[in-house]
Amino acid sequence: MRIRHLGQVEYVATWQAMKDFTLQRHAQTLDEIWLAEHPSVYTLGQASRPQHVLNAGHIPLVQTDRGGQVTYHGPGQVVAYVLIDLRRAGLFVRSLVTALEDAVIDTLTETGLKGGCRKPSAPGVYLPFDGELAKIAALGIKVKQGCTYHGVALNVDVDLTPFDGIDPCGYPGLQTVNMRQMGSNATFDEVALILCRHVVQRCGLRVK
């Protein structure tokens, strides 16, 4: 597989590029991971409900084709887009989701944050905070012709204020946190590389 470092890129253009890549790929096309960061944007998954957008303000709102509910992307958040041929990789959607969650938990542990965990029926990764579980990573996947796109977003040092404008992932009152707030000094670039390495390992992929 190949790894692409996109830098900070517009969300809609990246989404379109993922769709184009997936539609044009063939049996010999290498899988890819795209590492990105986006300007501020709210994205709504296929299951999103309008009432979960409380106050978008001046932040763009984009309806997408990924699974899940509403979330926020912004500077300081590492996004790993996973473009994988599921059959070739020997993965199912559920096993891919689990692998991505495990990769985030591995990344948190490696960068000094222990206690990363899942919540039943609520995809993503959480950390204990103020006596409850707060979300630090969200994920959503789309499958087309047996291949995936979209992926996982991990809060490194992203401004958390925009999360107040939504019910994160459709859960009213759900707290969100970032790695810096929780005590990690890892930089954005360090986290991106560590997360990518763990995604590759957890998904059983090989880098070309």
Helices 188-202 and 93-110: angle between axes, nearest 10 degrees: 140
Please check the confidence at residue 187 and state whether its pLDDT lies above 90.
yes
pLDDT value at position 169? 84
> Domain spanning 2-202: which CATH class is it, in words?
alpha beta
Instruction: Check residue 47 and give its pLDDT.
Output: 83
Q: What is the mean pLDDT of the segment spanning 140-167? A: 97
Average pLDDT over residues 148-157: 98
User: What pLDDT score was predicted for residue 193?
Assistant: 97
Give the domain ranges of the chain.
2-202
Q: What is the pLDDT of residue 182?
A: 97
- Cβ atoms of 148 and 84 closer than 8 Å: yes
**pLDDT value at position 40?**
98
70-79 pLDDT tens trace: 999 999 999 9
For the cut 80, the answer to whether the pLDDT of residue 121 exceeds it is no
**What confidence score (pLDDT) does residue 171 get?**
87
In the annotation, is 196 catalytic?
no
pLDDT of residue 68: 87
Burial class (CB in 10 A: 0-12, 13-18, 19+), 118: middle
Q: Are the CB atoms for 147 and 86 separated by under 8 Å? A: yes
Residues 29-41 pLDDT 10s = 999 999 999 999 9
In the chain, % of residues over pLDDT 90:
89
pLDDT above 80 for 208 = no
For position 189, what pLDDT does the model report? 97
- Choosing from 147, 169, 196, 203, the catalytic residue is 169
pLDDT in tens, 88-119: 999 999 999 999 999 999 999 999 999 999 98
